[in-house]
């Protein structure tokens, strides 16, 4: 009834000749860490069962302004962290949809809704997009406001989305972007125009790079074979490069920052609701409390050095190409999967998109990821569309 009431109101706006927004009448699902005044926001935890915020989060305000129809909340892992929710993979219900944006990815993958909101602190958009065989996008840090979103890391948390095609993702991100003084990472400057980037033709053949990454031993044989076939099809467009030794340090850097900040973000939960936390969250918090301020400061300094390195690196390349996940979805009893394919890019605030291009031995999806320079998200959409066009042409020939 609530959804139909929204739709009827939007119909009356159109009939009256009043202005309509870019998402007028389009249904969307909302990960249950985004505050919504008209729906409970329970953060994947029984601690917050029935919690009803007084105000919408910034992105919900943007969606309402654009005329979207808020269908409801989607399942998240506990505190958008590790402990799985009840959602299953839409391609095979014995498998995980990924996490932490599990419900959003599964709902789009099952074609229940065309768009959904997610968040990413490590691999929580890109990995579920890969597992559910859909498009997922995490924009550059600071493009979308995090006001009214449950915080687990002030440095690493990012907002993004899921869609059934790349152009819809570009449009959604344009709608959500904008400055917000309430978000410490939001910046007062023009944003990249994602849809313009998606619709634009490349001025010259893009130059992509594939890194021999330090975690490649975690890839499944099917994922490795699929990526090798893709690289072969693309030929000289893709340059193979050995990753700097420092990339291994960046993986630990991410863990230190995440541990240090989530321990402080969950202060109330650990002090007042310890017995209501899952075993996996308790275990993570026990590890996190051992992180020192000195370790954290060193990690933050390394992060800044890495951001500077990537800024220079992308002077020569349009994008990095990588896997979105080490392989197919994992079984439900194995958790939500390994986020390692996103760790370095998320740490450095780089825009990342997952494209549903490969499949594994069980005929389940494996995504391919493109990453580009910070605040060049429009270029990422342009390059991604070009890659999709090239692969379609190769398949037809």
What amino acid positions are annotated as catalytic residues? 31, 100, 124
Give, in order, the Cα–Cα distances in Å from 213 to each of 241, 250, 310, 323, 374.
Answer: 9, 12, 15, 11, 20
Query: From CA 142, how far away is CA 155, in angstroms rounded?
Result: 10
Query: From CA 374, how far away is CA 264, in angstroms rounded?
Result: 27
Give, in order, the Cα–Cα distances in Å from 292 to each of 9, 203, 285, 289, 347.
Answer: 53, 48, 14, 8, 19
Q: What is the largest CA-CA distance in the chain?
A: 63
Query: From CA 135, how far away is CA 370, in angstroms rounded?
Result: 11
Query: From CA 30, how far away is CA 97, in angstroms rounded?
Result: 16
Closest CA to 118 of 95, 88, 139, 94: 139
Query: From CA 76, how far away is CA 31, in angstroms rounded?
Result: 6
């Amino acid at each position: 009834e609530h959804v139909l009431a929204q739709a009827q109101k939007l119909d009356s706006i159109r009939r009256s000749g009043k202005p309509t927004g870019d998402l007028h009448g389009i249904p969307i699902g909302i990960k249950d860490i985004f505050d919504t005044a008209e729906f409970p926001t329970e953060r994947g935890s029984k601690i917050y069962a029935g919690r009803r915020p007084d105000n919408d989060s910034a992105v919900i305000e943007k969606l309402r302004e654009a005329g979207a129809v808020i269908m409801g909340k989607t399942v998240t892992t506990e505190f958008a962290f590790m402990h799985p929710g009840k959602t299953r993979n839409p391609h095979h219900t014995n498998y995980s949809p990924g996490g932490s944006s599990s419900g959003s990815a599964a709902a789009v993958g099952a074609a229940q809704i065309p768009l959904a909101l997610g968040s990413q602190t490590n691999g929580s958009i890109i990995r579920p997009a890969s597992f559910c065989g859909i498009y997922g996008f995490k924009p550059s840090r600071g493009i979308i406001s995090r006001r009214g979103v449950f915080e687990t890391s002030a440095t690493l948390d990012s907002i993004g989305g899921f869609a059934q095609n790349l152009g819809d993702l570009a449009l959604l991100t344009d709608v959500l972007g904008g400055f917000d003084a309430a978000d410490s990472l939001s910046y007062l400057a023009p944003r990249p125009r994602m849809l313009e980037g998606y619709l634009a033709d490349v001025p010259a053949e893009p130059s992509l790079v594939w890194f021999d990454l330090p975690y490649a031993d975690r890839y499944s044989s099917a994922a490795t074979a699929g990526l090798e076939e893709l690289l072969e099809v693309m030929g000289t467009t893709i340059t193979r490069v050995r990753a700097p030794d420092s990339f291994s340090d960046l993986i630990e850097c991410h863990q230190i920052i995440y541990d240090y900040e989530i321990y402080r973000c969950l202060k109330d939960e650990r002090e007042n609701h310890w017995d209501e936390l899952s075993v996996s969250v308790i275990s993570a918090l026990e590890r996190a409390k051992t992180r020192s301020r000195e370790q954290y400061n060193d990690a933050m300094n390394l992060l800044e050095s890495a951001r500077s390195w990537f800024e220079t690196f992308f002077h020569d390349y349009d994008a990095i190409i990588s896997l979105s996940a080490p392989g197919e979805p994992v079984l439900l009893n194995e958790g939500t999967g390994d986020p390692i394919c996103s760790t370095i890019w998320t740490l450095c605030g780089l825009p990342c998109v997952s494209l549903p291009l490969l499949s594994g031995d069980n005929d389940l999806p494996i995504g391919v990821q493109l990453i580009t320079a910070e605040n060049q998200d429009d270029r990422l959409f342009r390059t991604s569309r070009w890659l999709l066009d090239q692969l379609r042409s190769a398949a037809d020939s």
